[in-house]
Amino acid sequence: MMKGFATKAIHGPLAKKDPHGALRMPVYDSVAFEHESAQDIHLAFAGRHPAQSYTRISNPTVEDYERRVQLLSGAQGVVAVASGMAAISNVILALAEAGTNIVTTQYLFGNTYSLFENTLRPWGLDIKYVDLSVPQRLAEAIDQDTRVVFLESITNPQLQVADLRQIAEIAHQHEVPVVVDGTVTTPYLLCCKEFGVDLEVISSSKYISGGATTIGGLILDYGSFSWRHNPKVAPWVAKFGPNALLVWLRSEVYRNMGACLSPHNATLQTLGLETLSLRIQKSCDNALALAKYLEGLTEKISRVNYPGLPSSHYHDIAQRQFKRGFGGILTFHLDSKEQCFRFMDSVRLIRRATNINDNKTLIMHPASTIYCEYSPLQQREMGVCDSLLRLSVGIEDMEDLVDDLEAALASI
């Protein structure tokens, strides 16, 4: 009966009928939950009776949000966490350990790179960086200690789109799972399952939250990877089969790291899910229109990057992989850092803020902000330079955005 994304997002049923007939899952603001008997509490702790015990491990409001994401994405299981960074760190900590490695690309969100280099490497995890737009490089880099292949669905701010199907084929030949950070695409634009992606991590602080209302993260297991190939998860497979990773995660890494999603954030993000399709579609449509407009201004703008433009190196792959649009982020080059700063100081409607996929259009100079802790050489390797500006396109009326950009360009 429910085929469409928007219908599912709005009408996905509650797991249990609410005693008052509430149409929306109430916020369960309780840290602990009571059990009828000592035996019941024992069974809950032993994972043999599905019941709530403590909100750091599970909570009815958070669980309802997870079920809705599962329904929309086709994932086999979903765990909601405190932030996008918590989703990434939980997954890596669950699958890898000292003496093993992950294979990824230099084109990563700055904090993800910092997590890999500054937090996880000192604990003994090796991180190998390869150019994933050339999948052969992946085959060369994977070895018997590789636990994860990690990449972003559209890299930010480089806007590279790798061929997920090819990457999954190579990783699976070596019995290694593919983890994709699908923050900027969400299941509305990218059906990870169709391309062989095993796990998706999402910063739901972006589109899903309703336009940057609350911090949150998601881990989605698409059920395609046989967890017996991962030595840490393998002991759980006999008991929990294809759900082994998420059951184990919830009862160990997720529980112990304590980065759970608050029930208040879960309810706001559930509300965000209901309008996700409208907002993300408008943001993608605006971004494509603005990319075309800016690409025409060749006197002042030397290059516009957007996977939806035929001039993008990644346009063909993006067309194959993304169903309804190419995301809300575009970048463009002016002459210099000084010119970028003057441009940023001249916009009146567009906000100077470090976020993406807000309802508001936001502008950033990546080199002097997110990437300022890196040397110019490292920045170049990460695809960032002084003349680059990033626009995260919101859902405003196009005419107002064009007026603002036109006025700012005229003033530099």
Ligand X SMILES: Cc1ncc(COP(=O)(O)O)c(C=O)c1O
Cα 239 to its chain centre, rounded Å, is: 30
Say if residues 263 and 63 touch (Cβ distance below 8 Å).
no
Considering only residues 217, 263, 272, 383, which one is a binding residue for ligand X as defined by CB under 6 A? 217
Rounded to whole angstroms, how far apart are CA atoms 211 and 268?
A: 10
Shortest reach from residue 330's CB to ligand X, in Å: 15
Q: Which two tokens stand for residue 277?
A: 């399709």
Nearer to ligand X, 156 or 286 (CB): 156
- Residue 185 in contact with ligand X, rule: CB under 6 A: no
Cα-Cα end-to-end distance for the chain = 55
Measured from each CB, the residue nearest to ligand X is 84
Rounded to whole angstroms, how far apart are CA atoms 42 and 35?
A: 9
- Residue 186 in contact with ligand X, rule: CB under 6 A: no
Shortest reach from residue 73's CB to ligand X, in Å: 17
- The DSSP H or E segment spanning 77 is strand 77-81
Nearer to ligand X, 70 or 155 (CB): 155
- Residue 156 in contact with ligand X, rule: CB under 6 A: yes
Nearer to ligand X, 186 or 379 (CB): 186
Nearer to ligand X, 111 or 224 (CB): 111
Say if residues 361 and 331 touch (Cβ distance below 8 Å).
no
Helices (H), 101-163: 110-114, 135-141
- Residue 109 in contact with ligand X, rule: CB under 6 A: yes
Burial zone of 336 (CB within 10 Å; 0-12 exposed, 13-18 middle, 19+ buried) = exposed
- Residue 104 in contact with ligand X, rule: CB under 6 A: no
Shortest reach from residue 88's CB to ligand X, in Å: 6
Shortest reach from residue 375's CB to ligand X, in Å: 22
Rounded to whole angstroms, how far apart are CA atoms 164 and 303?
A: 26
Considering only residues 55, 185, 203, 321, which one is a binding residue for ligand X as defined by CB under 6 A? 203
Side-chain half-sphere exposure of 89, counting CA atoms within 13 A: 25
Choices 49-57, 108-116, 122-130, 361-369 (CB under 6 A): range interacting with ligand X: 108-116
Non-local (6+) Cβ contacts of 67 within 8 A are: 12, 15, 78
- Residue 179 in contact with ligand X, rule: CB under 6 A: no
Nearer to ligand X, 205 or 361 (CB): 205
Q: Which two tokens stand for residue 226?
A: 């046989």
- Residue 160 in contact with ligand X, rule: CB under 6 A: no
Non-local (6+) Cβ contacts of 331 within 8 A are: 157, 158, 159, 304, 305, 306, 388, 389, 390, 391
Choices 28-36, 105-113, 269-277, 341-349 (CB under 6 A): range interacting with ligand X: 105-113
Positions in 49-88 near ligand X (CB under 6 A): 83-85
Size of the site for ligand X (CB under 6 A): 15
Nearer to ligand X, 109 or 222 (CB): 109
- Residue 183 in contact with ligand X, rule: CB under 6 A: yes
Nearer to ligand X, 52 or 73 (CB): 73
Shortest reach from residue 178's CB to ligand X, in Å: 16
Shortest reach from residue 195's CB to ligand X, in Å: 18
- Residue 308 in contact with ligand X, rule: CB under 6 A: no
Residue that has been written with the tokens 């008997």 in this structure? 37
Nearer to ligand X, 103 or 237 (CB): 103
Q: In what order do the strands lie in the sheet with 388-392?
A: 303-305, 329-333, 388-392, 362-364, 351-352
Shortest reach from residue 267's CB to ligand X, in Å: 17
- Residue 92 in contact with ligand X, rule: CB under 6 A: no
Considering only residues 103, 168, 215, 363, which one is a binding residue for ligand X as defined by CB under 6 A? 215
Shortest reach from residue 259's CB to ligand X, in Å: 10
Q: Which two tokens stand for residue 241?
A: 């089969």
Query: Which of these, 268, 270, 271, 260, lies nearest to 53 by C-alpha position?
Result: 260
Per-residue contact flags (x/-) with ligand X for residues 114 to 153, judged by CB under 6 A:
--------------------------------------x-
**Coil, strand or helix: which one is 270?**
helix
Assign residue 237 a region: left if phi > 0, alpha if psi is -120 to 50, beta otherwise?
alpha
- Residue 371 in contact with ligand X, rule: CB under 6 A: no
Name the site residues for ligand X (rule: CB under 6 A).
Answer: 83-85, 109, 111-112, 152, 156, 181, 183, 203, 205, 215, 217, 356
